[in-house]
Amino acid sequence: MTQHKFPIDVMTLSIDVGGSGLKAALLDKAGEMASERVRIETPYPCPPERLVSTILELSTQLPGFHRVSVGFPGLVRDGRVFNIPSLTKSTLEGEVDPKLVELWDGFDLAQALDDAFHVPVRVANDADVQGSAVIRGEGFEFVITLGTGCGSALFFDGRLLPHLELGHAPFRKGFTYEEQIGNAARREVGKERWARRVVKAIDSFNSFLFFDHIYIGGGNARLLVDLDVDLGPNATIVSNTAGILGGIAIWERDI
């Protein structure tokens, strides 16, 4: 991994790419927000070049950064995209477009953004970024994000493990976790029934992961708080701002 020299007062532009919106903020060297969080809608259809131009547009509201961190909703390895269910759809809740799948498959998003920004850029899965901001670094920790889909990240003693798209694994009644507890499912069945599914999903994940602690984030996690859902002593609901605050941690971890 390329080593970069940054000023002591390094500022990081941290971007959280979501299926419905792109959020960003400046982070100081301590990982604290040094600006207001800004947001724009995710454009559809969204081929790679359009996402890059949209991220550049968003960044104009937050000048003065030395590096960029991007949390991305899909499988990312060494800055390349290999699976991205949300942005390969022609609309937010539409069908997957084979042409978009082809355009995104293997796309070097980190390099494209590096070329566009002219500063160092790191791109990682959004759940990996969020998890990096909230874990305690003790034992086997599991992170899920409940938003447009269902993201996941795994850590052991503070080390990020290889990313697995667990949200796309079979869950129940022939459906995946994402199909059962993603945002489309929540809208279809209502928040109470959706929350019961989330509890079942957590139990299901634990039946084969045997995690020490689970962290639940993403835009829909707050509904579990509103409904006062009992998730047990080994579960913590975390703020959705973690998707941005993790932008410092991915420069400190081997991602």
52-87: pLDDT as tens digits? 999 999 999 999 999 999 999 999 999 999 988 889
Does residue 24 sit in the same domain as residue 116? yes
Does residue 103 sit in the same domain as residue 175? no
Query: What's residue 93's pLDDT?
Result: 82
Asked if the model's pLDDT at residue 255 lies above 60, the reply is: no
- Residue 149 in any domain: the answer is yes
Phi/psi at 215 (nearest 5 deg)? Answer: -115, 130
Task: CATH number of the domain at 146, please.
Answer: 3.30.420.40
Does residue 97 sit in the same domain as residue 199? no
Closest to 152 in 3D by CA, of 41, 74, 47, 229 = 74
Closest to 86 in 3D by CA, of 41, 144, 23, 44 = 44
pTM: 0.90
Mean of pLDDT over the chain? 93
- Residue 174 in any domain: the answer is yes
**Total of domains in the chain:** 2
- Segment 23-40 shows an average pLDDT of 94
- Residue 45 in any domain: the answer is yes
Does residue 99 sit in the same domain as residue 59? yes
Task: Quote the CA–CA distance of 49 and 52 in Å, as a whole number.
Answer: 5
Does residue 87 sit in the same domain as residue 27? yes
Helices (H), 84-164: 98-104, 109-117, 126-134
Does residue 101 sit in the same domain as residue 140? no
Instruction: Give, in order, the Cα–Cα distances in Å from 218 to each of 115, 146, 208, 215, 222.
Output: 29, 5, 23, 10, 8
CB atoms within 10 A of CB 21: 14
Domain of 150?
A: 136-242
Query: What's residue 85's pLDDT?
Result: 83
- Residue 6 in any domain: the answer is no
- Residue 4 in any domain: the answer is no
- Residue 168 in any domain: the answer is yes
- Segment 92-119 shows an average pLDDT of 94
Q: Do 123 and 116 touch, CB atoms closer than 8 A?
A: no
Of the listed ranges 138-142, 159-163, 207-211, the one predicted with least confidence: 159-163
- Residue 120 in any domain: the answer is yes
Does residue 75 sit in the same domain as residue 111? yes
Does residue 74 sit in the same domain as residue 118? yes
Query: What's residue 216's pLDDT?
Result: 97
Does residue 71 sit in the same domain as residue 160? no
Does residue 47 sit in the same domain as residue 153? no
Query: What's residue 253's pLDDT?
Result: 67
Does residue 195 sit in the same domain as residue 149? yes
Query: What's residue 2's pLDDT?
Result: 61
- Residue 2 in any domain: the answer is no
Does residue 67 sit in the same domain as residue 118? yes
